[in-house]
Amino acid sequence: GQNIDQPTEMTATEGAIVQINCTYQTSGFNGLFWYQQHAGEAPTFLSYNVLDGLEEKGRFSSFLSRSKGYSYLLLKELQMKDSASYLCAVRDDKIIFGKGTRLHILP
């Protein structure tokens, strides 16, 4: 079966660092994605990991361990505009999403 788990909600402070974890069990694997979704808007692509290790892109980094079925998204220097839902997704042929982590940023 397909299963993607991530925390439902997290809270962090402006300027701080937050790590959002994702574990997955899927029948196939062709990569793991992180998307950001603001309320009422479409998901927007953040990162893509297909090999183990850390991918850094500005304030956002994403890590993958295929042997552990584990990924995290690291957000640094948090800004109020980072308040959104963060979706972990795995692709075999189709792309399957987790339920998303709602991140609240406090001033």
Query: DSSP assignment of 4-71, as one string?
Result: EE--SEEEEETT--EEEEEEEE-S--S-EEEEEE-TTS--EEEEEE-SSEEEEETTEEEEEETTTTEE
Residue nearer to another protein on the CB measure, 68 or 99 = 99
Residue 42 beta carbon to another protein: minimum distance, rounded to whole angstroms? 4
Q: Which residues would be at the binding site for another protein (CB under 8 A)?
A: 30-31, 33, 41-45, 48, 50, 85, 87, 91, 93-100, 102
Number of residues that make up the chain = 107
Q: How far is the CB of 34 from another protein (least distance, A)?
A: 10
Name the minimum Å distance from CB 12 to another protein. Answer: 19
Q: Toward another protein, which CB reaches closer, 15 or 104?
A: 104
